Amino acid sequence: MSPPPPPVTVIGIGADGWEGLGPAAREALRTAEVVIGGRRHLGLLPRECPGERVAWPSPLRPAVPGLFAAHTGRRISVLASGDPMFYGIGRTLAELLGAERLRVLPHPSSVSLACARLGWALEETEVVSLVGRPLATLNRELYAGRRLLVLSAGADTPAEVAGALGERGFGPSRMRVLEQLGSAEERCVEGTAEAWPHPPGDPLNVIAVDCAPADGAARPPALTPGLPDAAYDHDGQLTKRHVRAATLAALAPAPGELLWDVGGGSGSIAVEWMRAHRTCRAVSVERDAVRAERIGRNAAALGVPGLTVVTGAAPDALAGLPAPDAVFVGGGLTAPGALEACWAALPPGGRIVANTVTLESEALLADWYRRHGGDLVRLAVSHATPVGAFTGWRQAMPVTQWSATKPLASRGPGGDAADPGGSVEAAQGETR
């Protein structure tokens, strides 16, 4: 039996370079036969580190297994910025190589150093990474009085952040850009977002934001389900506010879970699922290309640009998608095989919620309720509206909602969902 390969030592290094490393990190680098890292990191090593220096290829993630296989049996050290396990290469290596193969020697992260300079409590500071992420990621975090640390993608990021803050009504926010934290060249520049005076500086920077809204600015959307309908761009294909809140309650998002939003419409269910927690994920499936594009815009505006939008009709468009933890069906219920495909894709314990306003689809949901149980409810919402000089109630179309949890002990693949009995003819004009 061959001996296990030597561990891969993952070393965090700061802008202070070799001088800021501890004895264990220095020894690992001196004795490494191969040192892998970014070109900037490799350039920080002194001559006393004789190992072969290998720069990361691009794209990085697909190349990692082959890169390490090419150096099997050799002592490998990897250089990373700050704490490798905080938005760093450490996570990727743990996922691809296995955590048991790693020996991680962290350095203080840029976030820890920034909080130390600012006098901010780390546990009360929100961190937003714009490294490889859209600028719209920032939108979800903008609330009065919040302190944000933005991990910058480069020298142009501070001006981009300043512009985004102004567009969102947070122009008076104080911004401080901390460059080259921990090095002899460390410096801090500051100003307000609406009058950001500084040209691009050092690309190695962290942006501190004290969020302050402009006078008269609209309050940002709440984090609870049921945002105002006006928060969305839509053409009428929208799960209305009060029904949406009830739908999200039935879907019960939890950290890290994946939602299929089938018949996406405006994307409101998927958007608010992802807003429930920063690790929640969603795929919105919409057959209309114009609506699919609109879903992407809504997701960006509400701070969840990571929402995946698939243009196509169920059930065909569901093929190849990662398995969901929950499914919402808000359109196309009567498409042959659509509900069956959604139920079959759910793992035991997965949740499904389906809404409809048509009698034809209501009959279909009643049949699924008969066969699979769960809850079948009718949601009716009325709004006060003028009636001449008085006020009366105007009722919106009632929504029938079926929700169920797939049994933990299923009766075969997809339970008994393959039973086609009870299906009805397709209904036209089905809405969310």
Q: Which residues are registered as beta bridge partners of 355?
A: 401
Show the tokens assigned to 347. Answer: 């793992």
DSSP conformational letter for 83: -
Question: Are 140 and 157 contacting, i.e. CB atoms less than 8 angstroms apart?
Answer: no
pLDDT-derived band at 423, boundaries 50, 70, 90:
very low
The CB density around residue 256, as the number of other CB atoms within 10 Å, is 11
Show the tokens assigned to 226. Answer: 């049921």
**Residue 172 CA: distances (Å) to CA of 82, 126, 303:** 31, 19, 20
126-129 and 187-192 strand pairing = unpaired
Tens of pLDDT, residues 55-90: 999 899 999 999 999 999 999 999 999 999 999 999
Rounded Cα distance, 399 and 243, in Å: 8
pLDDT-derived band at 406, boundaries 50, 70, 90:
very high
Confidence at residue 313, expressed as pLDDT on a 0 to 100 scale: 95
pLDDT-derived band at 415, boundaries 50, 70, 90:
very low
Question: Are 149 and 111 contacting, i.e. CB atoms less than 8 angstroms apart?
Answer: yes
DSSP conformational letter for 112: H
Q: Is the peptide bond before 59 cis (omega within 30 degrees of 0)?
A: yes
Range 314-331 average pLDDT:
96
Task: Using the structure block, give the residue that is written with the tokens 């490998």.
Answer: 76
Confidence at residue 408, expressed as pLDDT on a 0 to 100 scale: 87
Question: Are 56 and 36 contacting, i.e. CB atoms less than 8 angstroms apart?
Answer: yes
Q: List Cβ neighbours of 412 (8 Å cut-off, separation of 6 or more).
A: none
Confidence at residue 34, expressed as pLDDT on a 0 to 100 scale: 97
Q: Is the peptide bond before 315 cis (omega within 30 degrees of 0)?
A: yes
Tens of pLDDT, residues 230-288: 999 999 999 999 999 999 999 999 999 999 999 999 999 999 999 999 999 999 999 99
Confidence at residue 416, expressed as pLDDT on a 0 to 100 scale: 43
Q: Which residues are registered as beta bridge partners of 401?
A: 355, 377
Confidence at residue 427, expressed as pLDDT on a 0 to 100 scale: 30
Instruction: Select the more confidently predicted residue: 426 or 36.
Output: 36
Taking alpha carbons only, the member of 139, 172, 184, 212 closest to residue 19 is: 184
Helix, strand, coil fractions of the chain, as percent rounded to 5: 30, 25, 45
Confidence at residue 413, expressed as pLDDT on a 0 to 100 scale: 45
Tens of pLDDT, residues 10-29: 999 999 999 999 999 999 99
Task: Using the structure block, give the residue that is written with the tokens 């196509």.
Answer: 312
Percentage of the chain beyond pLDDT 70 is 94
Tens of pLDDT, residues 182-214: 999 999 999 999 999 999 999 999 999 999 999
- 419 has pLDDT over 60: no
- 320 has pLDDT over 80: yes
Taking alpha carbons only, the member of 91, 116, 271 closest to residue 186 is: 116
Show the tokens assigned to 241. Answer: 């506010």
Using the Cα atoms of residue 110, residue 113, residue 119 and residue 124 in order, give the sign of their dihedral: positive
pLDDT-derived band at 430, boundaries 50, 70, 90:
very low
Question: What is the rounded end-to-end Cα distance, in angstroms, of the chain?
Answer: 61
Tens of pLDDT, residues 325-370: 999 999 889 999 999 999 999 999 999 999 999 999 999 999 999 9
Whole-prediction pTM? 0.87
HSE-CB for 100 with a 13 A CA cutoff: 2
Rounded Cα distance, 89 and 212, in Å: 34
Rounded Cα distance, 376 and 403, in Å: 7
Confidence at residue 63, expressed as pLDDT on a 0 to 100 scale: 93
Confidence at residue 5, expressed as pLDDT on a 0 to 100 scale: 80
User: In 12-99, which residue ranges form alpha helices assigned H by DSSP?
Assistant: 23-31, 39-42, 60-69, 89-97
Confidence at residue 1, expressed as pLDDT on a 0 to 100 scale: 65
The CB density around residue 21, as the number of other CB atoms within 10 Å, is 22
- 373 has pLDDT over 70: yes
Question: For the chain, what is the mean pLDDT?
Answer: 92
